[in-house]
Amino acid sequence: MIEESAGIAEARSLGEVSWQQLPQPTLTRLAGYLPVLRSLREHGIAGASSGKLAGMAGVNAAVLRKDLSYIGAHGVRGVGYDVTGLIAKLSMILRSDRIRTVALAGASRLGQTLLAHTGFGHGFTVAALFDVDPALVGTRLAPGVPVIAPLEAMAERLAADPVEIGVIATADSDAQRACDIFVAAGVRQLLNVTPVHLLVGPEPAIVVRQVDLALELQVLAFHAGRSRVAPAQHEETVTA
Amino acid sequence: MIEESAGIAEARSLGEVSWQQLPQPTLTRLAGYLPVLRSLREHGIAGASSGKLAGMAGVNAAVLRKDLSYIGAHGVRGVGYDVTGLIAKLSMILRSDRIRTVALAGASRLGQTLLAHTGFGHGFTVAALFDVDPALVGTRLAPGVPVIAPLEAMAERLAADPVEIGVIATADSDAQRACDIFVAAGVRQLLNVTPVHLLVGPEPAIVVRQVDLALELQVLAFHAGRSRVAPAQHEETVTA
DNA sequence: TAGATTGTTAATCGATTAACAATC
DNA sequence: TAGATTGTTAATCGATTAACAATC
């Protein structure tokens, strides 16, 4: 399931590391620190140590310090980190200030929910929604979501109105086709919520992230069966 | 975000490895092979090499062979693997024959969709649905889903009617509470779709899997910003 | 100053991968 | 047999972790 490139940090001038080449685990964790910091700020807490932050984020304190040092977010020895400063730095790196445009292929229930759940108010705008079902064309499934075009019309629509992120929530049998159309239209970031492994040409730098809820349940089902047989060791959170 | 225990395979009698102690990545990949194999069977293909299977699943061929050897699913040298045999073996290991009972905390839109999307027809039964909103109590949100009880009534309901898997799709502020109630009720497998890092006592073997869609979009947003600045290297799929 | 906490190094750990002898 | 493909080893790679000197 994991077919990750090297993706490892690339040395720069003075032995420093470009924050444009963060290790994948670091990038994912950095995005996870943001809600923790926002929560602290809401509670009026101005500063926190790496130990406190790491505890809340569910990571090791050393790894958190290392992650932050990658992006030049420095704390103060003996004191800790400034919450507001960290939020600013992280937002800058993750570009969460900027609004991203998203197109959604597959107006399935899951697709619509993703749209409603993540699409609004947090830096993402759903610019277009596509589906194979011609009956849906022209209807409005969510308030503010502009159009629904048939899957066939994706190419031209995306050419006229480019998006940065494509979400694939089609039926399994349409997933690869939707992917191909997105890629051909120049979309370089894809979120795939189908269980299909998407094939993208190796030429352009396409980033695909896959979330497979059925697979998550499968894994839990395995553990459910095991827990009766063997009362067992201690295990913990695995983040998708 | 990853706070995984050792979880590594434990040696058994003759140097063999108990398939009850699979490495986490292996277990996740094994669950991913199943849909690939089912797809092959549907197309009437009886056998496949590790190379072919690995290609379809998006993994390295050597890792697939190693994964299968963990569970004693052997191929034939010079020939490959038997599709039907593999399905049977994998189903046995992952216990996908048995129906698992699931309880859902948080009748949010995302919660309801998870219920509709994964709950039916694939080995899972939603036994109970809980929400903080008293107005929802007694209503039926999906056909066949028995009851909605307030979050407060979870403990007694779960005591009377135990479940194997708990799904947490509440508001962020209720996530830890829902988790605590599940754990107290003896639920040992949790799927957390909130961005909250759940704290579970280290004593019982609780398996928590977290899927954070907002975080996935954040990561993609980062890459979206980067792709303009640096046309960049080649990257590939990262599975949640 | 004394205490606390960072930033970073060095060691450990586990997972991935290529390669190849075994063998159908 | 000859060709193909497995099962497994050994090497590589990267990520995690503990530990500690630097220093606020």
* Nearest-neighbour CA in chain A from B98: distance (Å): 9
Q: What is the pLDDT of residues B154-201, one digit of tens each?
A: 888 899 889 999 999 998 889 999 999 999 999 999 999 998 999 987
- pLDDT the model gives residue B110: 74
> Quick check: B78 CB within 7 A of strand C?
yes
Interface test with A, best of B34, B104, B189, B193 (most A CBs within 10 A): B189
Q: Which amino acid is at A117?
A: H
Find the closest chain B residue to A167 by CA distance: B217
CA of B217 to C1' of C1 (A): 49
Q: Inspect the interface and report whether the beta carbons of A207 and B223 lie closer than 8 Å.
A: yes
The whole-angstrom separation of Cα B183 and Cα B163 is 11
Q: How far is A178 from chain B (nearest CA, A)?
A: 16
3-state SS, residue A59: coil
* Residue B154 vs residues B148, B172, B193: alpha-carbon distances, Å: 10, 18, 18
CA distance B233 to chain A (A): 6
Q: What is the pLDDT of residue A152?
A: 78
pLDDT reported for residue B146: 59
Which of the residues B1, B98, B182, B194 would you substitute to probe the A interface, choosing the one with the greatest number of A C-beta atoms within 10 Å?
A: B1
Say yes or no for a CB contact (<8 Å) between A208 and B165.
no
Distance CA A52, CA A56 (A): 6
Q: Are the Cβ atoms of A217 and B124 closer than 8 angstroms?
A: yes
On chain B, the residues whose CB falls within 8 A of the CB of A57 are 1, 197
Protein CA A8 to sugar C1' D16 (Å): 15
Select from B174, B179, B184 the least CA-distant residue to B133: B174
Is the pLDDT at B120 greater than 70, yes or no? Answer: no
Residue environment code for B40-65, b if the CB has 16+ CB neighbours within 10 A, otherwise e: beeeeeebbbbebbbbbbbbeeebbb
Residues of A in contact with B188 (CB under 8 A): 223-224, 227
d(C-alpha B178, C-alpha B176), whole Å: 5
**pLDDT confidence of residue B17:** 46
Indicate the residue type of B96: S
Q: Name the residue with higher pLDDT: B141 or A120.
A: B141
- How sure is the predictor about B142, in pLDDT bands with cuts at 50, 70 and 90? low
Residue of B nearest to A233 (CA): B205
B229 pLDDT more than 80 = no
Tell me the CA–C1' distance in angstroms for A161 and C14: 45
The pairing of beta strand A165-168 with beta strand A238-239:
unpaired
Nucleotides in D strand less than 7 A from protein CB: 2-9, 13-19, 22-24
**CB of residue A149 closer than 7 A to nucleic acid strand D?**
no
Estimate the crossing angle of helix B61-70 against helix B24-42, to 10 degrees.
100
- CB B50 under 7 Å to nucleic chain C: no
Query: A123-127, B7-11, B31-35 — which is least confidently predicted?
Result: B7-11
Question: Which chain A residues contact residue B226 at CB under 8 A?
Answer: 20
What is the pLDDT averaged over residues A52-63?
Answer: 96
In chain A, % of residues over pLDDT 90: 52
Q: What is the mean pLDDT of residues A169-188?
A: 92
Neighbours of B70 (CB within 10 A): 20
- Asked if B235 contacts A197 with a C-beta cutoff of 8 angstroms, the reply is no
Å between B91 CA and C23 C1'? 28
Contact B236 A200 (CB under 8 A): yes
In a mutagenesis test of the B interface, which of A39, A124, A141, A236 is the best target, namely the one with the most B β-carbons within 10 Å?
A: A236
Contact (Cβ atoms closer than 8 angstroms) between residue A194 and residue A169: yes
Report CB contact under 8 Å: A221, B35: no
| Nucleotide lying nearest to A49, CA to C1' measure | C5
Q: Does the CB of A52 fall within 7 Å of any strand D atom?
A: no
pLDDT number for residue A233: 44
pLDDT over threshold 70, residue A4: no
| 8 Å CB contact between B115 and B142 | yes
Contact (CB<8Å) B209/A238? yes
Residue A95 token pair: 């570009």
Q: Which nucleotide's C1' atom has the smallest distance to the CA of A79? A: C5
- pLDDT > 70: percent of chain B: 78
Q: What is the pLDDT of residue A38?
A: 94
Q: Do A31 and B215 touch (CB under 8 A)?
A: yes
Average pLDDT, chain B: 82
**Alpha carbon of B73 to those of A227, B50, B83: distances in Å?**
23, 12, 11
Checking if the pLDDT of A58 tops 60, the result is: yes
Q: A108-163: per-residue pLDDT in tens?
A: 777 777 777 765 457 888 888 888 877 777 776 666 666 677 887 888 889 988 99
